[in-house]
Structure 1
Amino acid sequence: MLSSNGSGSSNDISPVYSLWATFIGLYIANYVVERSTGWALTHPLTISEYEKLKKQLKPDFEDMVPWYSGTSADLFKTVFDLMISVTLFVGRFDMRMMQAAMNKTPDEANNSDLLYDHLNEKDELWFDFIADTGDGGNSTYAVARLLAQPSYPNPSSFSYDRRFFCPFEYALQPPAWYKAEHIALEKPELPLGVSELRQYRGPECFMIPGNHDWFDGLNTFIRYICHKSWLGGWFLPQKKSYFALKLPNGWWVFGLDQALHGDIDVYQFKFFA
């Protein structure tokens, strides 16, 4: 590698060699550890029932990118391509210069290829932002499926029951005596045999509402979260849409309800102050 004045410079290339040496060392270490201790877990000899079922699903999506696996060929190629791009092309050739040069005449070097104003006169517009797409077929499809819907998730009783409460109840069942249709008159309604909240040793859950919860003015959130005592097997002590948790060793968790305006109301301000 040549420095800017044309003379050789060992300082310019030493970081590259150091980075390469570090990566190769980590790659070899990961490979040895995986082969010696984790091979049986990460590479089963027989195809599991899950794998058989997944192969029956259509379309056949790609698996998640194994970012934390040093033995991934795709990851190794990604790192190699990145190293080549950084060491060879950055500062030497910039495709953005070619894009700018594609205008045929100086008069065409304006914002016509950059500015899109066909939406500015619409009365209503939904703007969807997604990021890090392509890591895996299932996760990308889940996001794309939501974007394809003519309407967005809303805080209805059906969506709370089927999309939120049901999966948590399958993961951890609520107490046998819990009735889903009941509301909590005096929260926290402590489990049987527990006289105060600090005595409870089971899992608890605290929540803050998102923007979709505010589409109906927070009514469904208050009904299902503030007026119920259980989310599956998780106990729900909170009474309002905001809260403060005092944790061990001087730590705190503040749950702020910012509604649809990215701001807290005067009652929250007074409480947290």
Structure 2
Amino acid sequence: MNELKDQVCSSWFAPVGSASDYPLLSKWVIYGELGNDNGGSSDEISPIYSLWATFIGLYIANYVVERSTGWALTHPLSVEEYEKMKKKQLKPEFLDMVPWYSGTSADLFKTVFDLLVSVTVFVGRFDMRMMQAAMNKDQEGAQHGDLLYDHLSEKEDLWFDFMADTGDGGNSSYSVARLLAQPHIRVTRDDSVFTLPRGDVLLIGGDLAYPNPSAFTYERRLFRPFEYALQPPPWYKKDHVAVNKPEVPSGVPELKQYDGPQCYIIPGNHDWFDGLNTFMRFICHKSWLGGWFMPQKKSYFALQLPKGWWVFGLDLALHCDIDVYQFKFFAELVKEQ
């Protein structure tokens, strides 16, 4: 029996030394026994002590956890505390509005620097609008290519919404976007109630993200409020690059058959601070702004509406001018129509 005990102790428990190695624990240690049956107690600490100490530690930890959990269950949050916690959890991750009148804002200094670089380097030397004109393809012999959208011209009626200067993002942009996302809005005037349906087309008039265009500001100040207001379709992928626009949803044969809300955007001067690079990447190379479909391929466009109406989306860059190729496109379109 002693041999079996020795084998178990030697294989399962590591030696822990003598009581002199643990003076603080000398009152509580379990001492071992001598190797023979008639032997008395030994100064060596029994290997069983390490197992005993482990169980005591686990018991204490379990007791603390049970007491903590029990206190939380017996002390529920008050209504005020619960509402405060709920608001904190549901609060959207919006950026604060741009501190335009703060002289210590690093973003504003960067904006001034980007503006100087854009004016001195890009404008006059490289114009993204000319690059777009060069890449535009002929369609049926006319220089319309990716600039003319006439798929709405045969509708009986058409509703459109307009907003601009969304650059601050956050609560202000979300509030407007949320109203635009509603299927309809009822407006009371005098004794009459008017029902205004959601626009078939949303037109956005530039300055999409303050103070300067970047992937961070576009995602946080433009895309996030619109995605919170009206979620994109389930198949939407944030990093997807639209190569062949318009990328209509599966099951829709052509853009004319798509009946969801659409969005067209022109750039503002703030969108030109980086030479229009971010605008092209996030607007012309993506298909969704929240739940609004974006067929747009270039920074300027012509949108043919029903009953002979038109929308000309002009790109005026930084100097509020129209380049010769853009002017030529609109001039020829007017002559033809």
Greater strand fraction, Structure 1 or Structure 2: 2
Please give the TM-score of this superposition, normalised by the length of structure 1: 0.47
Please give the TM-score of this superposition, normalised by the length of structure 2: 0.38
